[in-house]
Chains A and B, each alone.
Chain A
Amino acid sequence: MAAYQQPDERGHFGDYGGRFVAETLIPALDELQQAYKAAQADPAFQAELHSELRQFVGRPNPLYHAQRLSSEIGGAQIYLKREDLNHTGAHKINNAVGQALLARRMGKRRLIAETGAGQHGVATATVATRYGMDCVVFMGEDDIQRQSSNVYRMRLLGAQVEAVRSGSRTLKDALNEALRDWVSNVEDTFYVIGTVAGPHPYPEMVRNFHRVIGDEARAQCLELTGRLPDACVACVGGGSNAMGLFYPFIDDQAVRLIGVEAAGLGLSTGKHAAPLTVGRPGVLHGNRTYLMTDENGQIEATHSISAGLDYPGVGPEHAYLKDTGRAAYVAVTDAEALAAFHRLSRVEGIIPALETSHALAYAFQLATQMRVEQSIVVSLSGRGDKDIHTVAALEGIQL
C-alpha cells in the first residue's frame, strides 16, 4: 500500500482543504507558504525548533500508563500522552512555538491569534513574549466571560486581548476578526492560526508542528509495550491535537484512529459541535470541510461545555480521513465528558481539560469492549485548571 501523502501542492486533502479567501489575502498566504517550505528544509530551523521544544516547552512529555484506571475499567490498557505537562498546560504550545519561529524568520514583529478556550491565546502570548514580539489575541465576548482566568493570563503575559462582538461572539467570530486584522496589516503581522483549519498552508503546517505528539507516542508505546497501540483517541474541535497524534500512525493500518467531537446537550437537540458526526461539507474560514450549516448555507451556532470544542467547522484533513474511513469520528455529550473529568481526577490524580474529557469518556467506553492485553493511547491534550470555575458552577459551588 502506498504511503499516505496529503495534502497536494495546493493544500487539498481529497475534496477538502484548499484556499477560499479574499484576493487580498493571497499574497500573504503565498509568502507564508514559501517561507514555511524553506524553513522545513532548513536543518538550522529544525534544530532550533527541536531545542525550543526541549528547553522551553519541556518535551518529550511522558506516555503514562494509567494502571489504576485500566484495572478499574477491566478492559484495554489506557495510556495517556501527557500534553498537559507542556509549558502553558496544553498541546497548543507546540504549534505556537513553530509559527513564532517562522514569523521571526520572516521578519514579522507582530503576532495575532484567535482563541476559544484561551489555550491557544495563552500559548501565542507566551511565545510572543519569549521572542520579543507584539501580540494581539481575538476572543469572542462570550468566551471572555467563561474563560476569564485565561484572559488574565494573556494580559499578564503582555498580550492585548480584543473582545469580538460580531456574530455568535465565539471562536468562529474571533477567527473572522483575526482574518480581517491580518488582511489590513499584512506587512508586519503574522497570523498564528491555532488549529488544523484555515486556508492552505495552515492545515498542513499546524499538523506538522503537532506531529511531535504522535511521533513521541508511537516510539514510547513501542518502548513500553513492545508493540503499537490498538487505538488512538483524541478530542476534535478544529482537530489539532488529534491530527498531531493520528498523523504518524496513518500508515499503520492496524491502529484504529478515533476522533471525539462534542455532542453538547445531545445530537438530537441541535445544541452540539459535531460537524463530522452530523454536519455536511461546505466552505468556511478558507477551506472546504464538514460544517454545521443550516439549509440556507448559514453557519449554525454551536454548543459545548468546553469552549475549545465550540466550533462549527473542523480541519479538512479530518474530513478526508472520515470519508476514506481511515479514521472514525464519534461524539460525546457534556454530561459524559463531565463524568470522565471527575473520574480521571479521582482515580489517577490528573485533572484533565473539559476538551480532553471528551476523548477520555469515549476511551473509557471503548476499553470495556477490548481485551486487557490491548492498548489505547489517549491524547491528554490539556490540563483542567482553566475549567474548575465552569465545573464548580455546574455543581452550584461558588469559588
Chain B
Amino acid sequence: MSRLAAMFSRLQEARRTALIPFLTAGDPSTTGVVALLHSLVQAGADAIELGVPFSDPMADGPVIQGSSERALARGVSLRQVLAWVRDFRRQDHDTPIILMGYLNPIEILGMRHFAEEAADAGVDAVIVVDLTPEEAETDTALLRQAGIDPIFLLAPTSGPQRVAAVKRLGSGFVYYVSLRGITGAQQQDWDEVVSRVAELRRELAMPMAIGFGIRDAATAKRLAGKADAVVIGSALVQLLQQAKDDEDAQRLASEFLAPIRAVLNEELSA
C-alpha cells in the first residue's frame, strides 16, 4: 500500500481529517528545509505539500508568487527539491510528500526521468497545476508506472466531463479548489463547498482534499470531518516570512499548526 493510501485508511479508521500544510521548497531558507519538514510532522501534519518554485506561477496569488521568487533567487531547482525529499526520507518513512508545481521544470528533465527520480527520492504524489487531464494521458501513465499518484484539481465550475476525466486519470486523492481565483484568496460559502465535496467523494470514490482559502483553526473547523484532508498554504507561507532564523521558522510553523490540529482532533472526540 502507498504511503498516501495508508495515511487515508489510518485516518478513516480514526475518523479524522488529514492536515496538509504547504511550503515552498527553499523559503524562508534553503538551509532549514528538511528540519522544517520534520517539525511540521511533529506539530501534527499528516502529509506535506512541497511547492517547487517556478518563474511564472500563473495560478498563484501574491504570497506564493513571492515565496517562489525568493526561493528561485536562492538558486532552488527541482533537482534540489528532490534532494531535500531524499534527505527527509532518511528519518521519516511514513509521512507522504506531495510535490506541487508547474509543468515546464518537469518537462526539462523529461516526465519519465522525473517520475523515476522522484519515486526514488521518496515522493508520493505530484500536482502539476497547469497539466489538465486532457493533456495528461501520457504523463499520468508515466507517473503511475513509477508509483507516483497524479493528483488533479477540481473547481466549483468543473462539469461532469471533467470529473469523469479526473476519475479516469487521477489517483491518491483529488484536490478540490474551494474557490474561483488564485491561491490566498478568501472563501465565503463553506457550506456549498462541503456539500459539493461530499457529492464528488461518492462519485470519484477517492479521498477529497480541500484547499485555497483555509487560513486558520476557525476555517479548518468548518471542514473537520467533512473533507478527507485540508491543505493550508498561503497563511503558513506568509507567517514564515517573519522567521528570524531556521529555528524560529520551525517554532512559528509548530505554533501555527498546533491549534489547527487540535480543532481537527476535537471534531473526532465530539
- CB pair A20–B132 under 8 Å, yes or no, is yes
Cβ contact of B130, chosen from A20, A166, A167, A281, cutoff 8 A: A20
A205 within 8 A of B: no
- CB pair A24–B157 under 8 Å, yes or no, is yes
Cβ contact of B104, chosen from A26, A180, A293, cutoff 8 A: A293
Given contacts A27-B157, A284-B56, A296-B77, contact A183 B135 (CB under 8 A): no
In the complex, per-residue mask of B119-161: 1 if CB is within 8 Å of any chain A CB, else 0: 0000000000111101100000000000000001111011100
In the bound complex, residues from chain B placing their C-beta under 8 Å from that of A175 are 58
**B46 CB to nearest A CB, Å:** 24
A361–B28 alpha-carbon span in the complex (Å): 48
Q: How many residues of A contact B (CB 8 A)?
A: 34
A346 within 8 A of B: no
A397 within 8 A of B: no
Given contacts A166-B69, A282-B108, A297-B78, contact A24 B180 (CB under 8 A): yes
A284–B61 alpha-carbon span in the complex (Å): 17
**A302 CB to nearest B CB, Å:** 12
B177 within 8 A of A: yes
Cβ contact of A167, chosen from B56, B104, B159, B177, cutoff 8 A: B56
A193 within 8 A of B: no
Closest residue on chain B to residue A18 by CB atoms = B135
B107 within 8 A of A: yes
In the bound complex, residues from chain A placing their C-beta under 8 Å from that of B153 are 22-24
**A79 CB to nearest B CB, Å:** 39
- CB pair A297–B108 under 8 Å, yes or no, is yes
- CB pair B182–A180 under 8 Å, yes or no, is yes
In the bound complex, residues from chain B placing their C-beta under 8 Å from that of A23 are 132, 152-155, 158, 162, 177
Cβ contact of A21, chosen from B56, B130, B154, cutoff 8 A: B130
Given contacts A23-B153, A166-B69, A167-B56, contact A291 B130 (CB under 8 A): no
- CB pair A180–B158 under 8 Å, yes or no, is no
Closest residue on chain A to residue B185 by CB atoms = A184
Given contacts A180-B61, A183-B181, A184-B182, contact A282 B104 (CB under 8 A): yes
In the bound complex, residues from chain B placing their C-beta under 8 Å from that of A351 are none
In the complex, per-residue mask of A257-299: 1 if CB is within 8 Å of any chain B CB, else 0: 0000000000000000000000001111110000101011111
A166–B177 alpha-carbon span in the complex (Å): 24
Given contacts A10-B134, A183-B180, A285-B56, contact A26 B108 (CB under 8 A): no
In the bound complex, residues from chain A placing their C-beta under 8 Å from that of B109 are 297
Q: Is the interface of A mostly helix, strand, loop or mixed?
A: mixed
Cβ contact of A19, chosen from B58, B132, B155, cutoff 8 A: B132
A104–B112 alpha-carbon span in the complex (Å): 45
In the bound complex, residues from chain A placing their C-beta under 8 Å from that of B57 are 176
**B188 CB to nearest A CB, Å:** 14
A186 within 8 A of B: yes
In the bound complex, residues from chain A placing their C-beta under 8 Å from that of B169 are none
In the bound complex, residues from chain A placing their C-beta under 8 Å from that of B69 are 166-167
A179–B77 alpha-carbon span in the complex (Å): 25
A173–B60 alpha-carbon span in the complex (Å): 12
A303 within 8 A of B: no
A155–B58 alpha-carbon span in the complex (Å): 26
In the bound complex, residues from chain A placing their C-beta under 8 Å from that of B182 are 180, 183-184
A172 within 8 A of B: yes
B106 within 8 A of A: yes
In the bound complex, residues from chain A placing their C-beta under 8 Å from that of B129 are 22
B198 within 8 A of A: no
Given contacts A283-B103, A297-B106, contact A27 B78 (CB under 8 A): no
In the bound complex, residues from chain B placing their C-beta under 8 Å from that of A173 are 56
A296–B80 alpha-carbon span in the complex (Å): 10
A21–B77 alpha-carbon span in the complex (Å): 22
B168 within 8 A of A: no
**Most B CB within 10 A of own CB, among A180, A186, A296:** A296
In the complex, per-residue mask of A175-207: 1 if CB is within 8 Å of any chain B CB, else 0: 110011001101000000000000000000000
A34–B57 alpha-carbon span in the complex (Å): 27
Closest 10 CB pairs between A and B?
A: A297-B105, A297-B108, A22-B59, A184-B181, A296-B77, A27-B157, A23-B153, A298-B55, A20-B130, A297-B104
Chosen A-B contacts, 6 in total, with CB atoms closer than 8 Å, are: A180-B61, A183-B59, A284-B104, A291-B104, A293-B104, A298-B72
